């Protein structure tokens, strides 16, 4: 039984292909977390067994017998969900089939068509049927299960690989169309997992050497604190990468692309408003330099990002900077003072006043160990020590463990 670590109370979540494997594990996990799950599949007996297991933990489940090739059934299911709940909070498109493992020219045409139908076309019908319901949720989420076969080239995986590559392209298009809404679309590649499909693809493989999907779920950082911490690390990496592209590589296009991706993927991060501001600055600097503003793109200009900052973060330091470019908050004032102090020492370093610079670095480190320029100070200290030794300046061990003047 998977360990539940997320609160999904009162959420309505549809999981296709829920009768076994990954879909079954996801349904159990969601139900244990408080969601009311709609479990669909072709094998009604397996769904009933799953329903019994969910009931034992006081969970709620609704069984739907669904064949992925029955496209009309998708619309009927959407209507039933709309009538009963009026929304869909989550949709996990897990149902799929392996198809035929064979060279491309030798795949049975009927099997090829069915593989594309089950793994790709049917999910388009589901997107068309459930999109409105997902947008009716205050935080709709769709998860489409893909595979590593979609990437690169695997001999004999043709039909399956084609269907999953198409699925990924479709998911990205849907995500791009939904970026200005509360709906978020995600792709997941579970990797090598102990399922019947994996066993069919690798008949000689010992399944005991593979993790179950329950074990994969248990390894995810799903505790709220762990998840937030992981997301913040990711957001910081995105943000810093954008700065590197702009400041170090002079690649504004990659910087913009990176910050936009941060905003789209990590919308609750503390770096979200900062990324908005960097996009505003980057476009503004380009417009000033080129004396041109793109009239053919709604969000390719500084005015758009300025409006977004004021709309999303009214009263914030970023909004105040839009209104008053000279505004500095307390932290910025402190950082500016620290920068000026460091640069003054740096100028003295260039005059070869190494002994006094070393004394002042020790004084700054002792006075303010959390100084924003501490790393720069220590690098400067190391350079002073090295150069002073070369000059035969007569050094002794200082407080921070480096040599200081005698």
Whether the CB-CB separation of 359 and 403 falls below 8 Å is answered with: no
Task: Give CA–CA dist 130/90, Å, rounded.
Answer: 10
Sheet strands side by side (includes 141-145): 60-65, 36-41, 12-15, 90-93, 141-145, 184-188
Q: Which of 160, 283, 354, 377 is catalytic?
A: 160
Number of residues in the chain: 406
What dihedral angle (degrees, nearest 10) is formed by the CA atoms of 101, 102, 105, 106?
Answer: -110
Task: Give CA–CA dist 66/39, Å, rounded.
Answer: 9
DSSP secondary structure, 232-287, as one string: HHHHHHHHHHHHIIIIIS--HHHHHHHHHHHHHH-TTSTTHHHHHHHHHHHHHHHH
Q: At what angle do helices 272-290 and 224-243 cross, to 10 degrees?
A: 10
Residue of 286, 267, 279, 276 lying closest to 319 (CA atoms): 276
**Is residue 142 within a helix (H) or strand (E), and if so which, with residue range?**
strand 141-145
239 catalytic per annotation: no
Locate 325 and state its tokens: 């470019």
Q: What is the Cα gyration radius of the chain?
A: 29
Q: Which residues are marked as active site?
A: 160
């Amino acid at each position: 039984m998977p360990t539940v670590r997320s609160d999904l109370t009162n959420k309505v979540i549809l999981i296709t292909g829920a009768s076994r494997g990954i879909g079954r594990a996801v349904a159990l996990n969601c139900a244990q977390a408080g969601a009311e799950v709609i479990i669909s599949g072709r094998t009604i007996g397996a769904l009933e067994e799953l329903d019994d297991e969910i009931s034992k933990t006081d969970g709620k489940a609704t069984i739907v017998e669904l064949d992925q090739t029955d496209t009309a059934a998708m619309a009927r299911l959407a209507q039933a969900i709309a009538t009963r709940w009026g929304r869909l909070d989550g949709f996990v498109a897990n149902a799929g089939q392996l198809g035929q493992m064979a060279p491309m020219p030798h795949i049975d045409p009927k099997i090829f068509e069915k593989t594309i139908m089950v793994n790709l076309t049917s999910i388009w019908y589901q997107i068309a049927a459930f999109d409105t319901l997902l947008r009716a949720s205050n935080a709709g989420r769709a998860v489409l299960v893909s595979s590593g076969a979609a990437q690169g080239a695997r001999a004999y995986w043709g039909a399956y690989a084609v269907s999953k590559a198409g699925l990924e392209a479709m998911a990205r298009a849907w995500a791009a169309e939904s970026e200005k809404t509360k709906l978020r679309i995600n792709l997941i590649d579970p990797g090598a997992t102990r399922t019947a499909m994996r066993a069919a693809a690798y008949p000689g493989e010992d399944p005991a050497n593979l993790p179950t999907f329950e074990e994969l779920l248990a390894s995810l950082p799903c505790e709220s604190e762990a998840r937030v911490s992981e997301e913040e690390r990711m957001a910081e990496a995105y943000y810093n990468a954008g700065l590197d592209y702009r400041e170090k590589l002079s690649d504004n296009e990659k910087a913009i692309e990176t910050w936009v991706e941060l905003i789209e993927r990590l919308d609750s991060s503390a770096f979200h408003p900062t990324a908005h501001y960097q996009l505003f600055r980057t476009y503004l600097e380009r417009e000033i330099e080129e004396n041109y503003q793109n009239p053919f793109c709604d969000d390719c200009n500084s005015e758009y990002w300025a409006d977004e900052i004021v709309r999303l973060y009214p009263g914030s330091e970023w909004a105040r900077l839009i209104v008053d470019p000279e505004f500095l908050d307390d932290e910025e004032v402190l950082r500016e003072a620290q920068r000026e102090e460091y640069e003054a020492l740096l100028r003295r370093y260039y005059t070869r006043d190494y002994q006094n610079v070393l004394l002042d670095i020790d004084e700054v480190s002792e006075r303010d160990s959390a100084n924003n320029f501490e790393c720069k100070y220590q690098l400067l200290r190391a350079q002073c020590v090295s150069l002073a030794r070369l000059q035969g300046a007569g050094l002794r061990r200082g407080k921070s463990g480096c040599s200081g003047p005698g």
